[in-house]
Amino acid sequence: MMLMVAPLCMVSAQSGLISTKKLYTKKADMSEYLVPGVVPVVDGKVVFTKEIAAEGQSKDELFRVLSSFASLRFEANAQRGDWREPNFFRNIDFAQVKEADKQAGRIVAQGAEEMIFSNKALAKDYTHAFYRFTAEASQGKIRVTVDNIAYVYVGSQETERIPAEDWITDKEAINKKGKLSRISGKFRVKTVDLFNEIVDEITELANKK
């Protein structure tokens, strides 16, 4: 495994539009990440999808929620919180909102961020994670999709781009003993957590009274 070395430096950037909850606990029980299909594969591609209920909210109201969320969550070089918190993110240059179609109720964004596995005083173990975020608002609900996921480890000799299909599926990330693989397993954990946290934040915002 290659390590990327960087100084330990985290700055908090918070807004009332995004949850600031601090619920981080190092999980001893990893069984939820071993459930078959927790990383869903559709036609050979990793595709996370969730429908969020927002009773009583109109399509336009929910589109405004999504626009506010995405403009902050996918702003290039934006960051928030401490890396140990579930709602932490630290974007890189390629993060951006690519489409905001009010009539269709659709937001499409390019996710591009650091995915940090461990962080020590002199070095941190992390990768760059890339993904497409799509959210579609309609009367009383939002459908969220995260796909086109890939990871980039930057080493001293070459840059390798690893698609999620080759790295975090049941076949690739769970070994013959039924446990998470040492390296690809941590990518699986962090990716599942990333999607769940995005869904949780949008759910909270969409149902805020």
* Domain locations in the chain as residue ranges: 40-206
Asked whether 135 and 70 are in contact (CB, 8 A), the reply is: yes
**What average pLDDT does the segment 96-110 reach?**
97
- Of the two residues 25 and 67, the one the predictor is more confident about is 67
Q: Which pTM value belongs to this model?
A: 0.84
What does the mean pLDDT of the chain come to?
85
pLDDT at position 118 is 84
CATH number of 40-206: 3.30.530.80
pLDDT digits (tens, 9 = 90+) for 168-188: 999 999 999 999 998 899 999
Lowest model confidence (mean pLDDT) among 22-36, 42-56, 177-191:
22-36
User: In sequence order, what are the residues at sequence separation of 6 or more whose Cβ sits closer than 8 angstroms to the Cβ of residue 71?
Assistant: 97
Closest CA to 130 of 159, 170, 173: 159
pLDDT at position 208 is 84
pLDDT digits (tens, 9 = 90+) for 119-139: 877 778 889 999 999 999 999
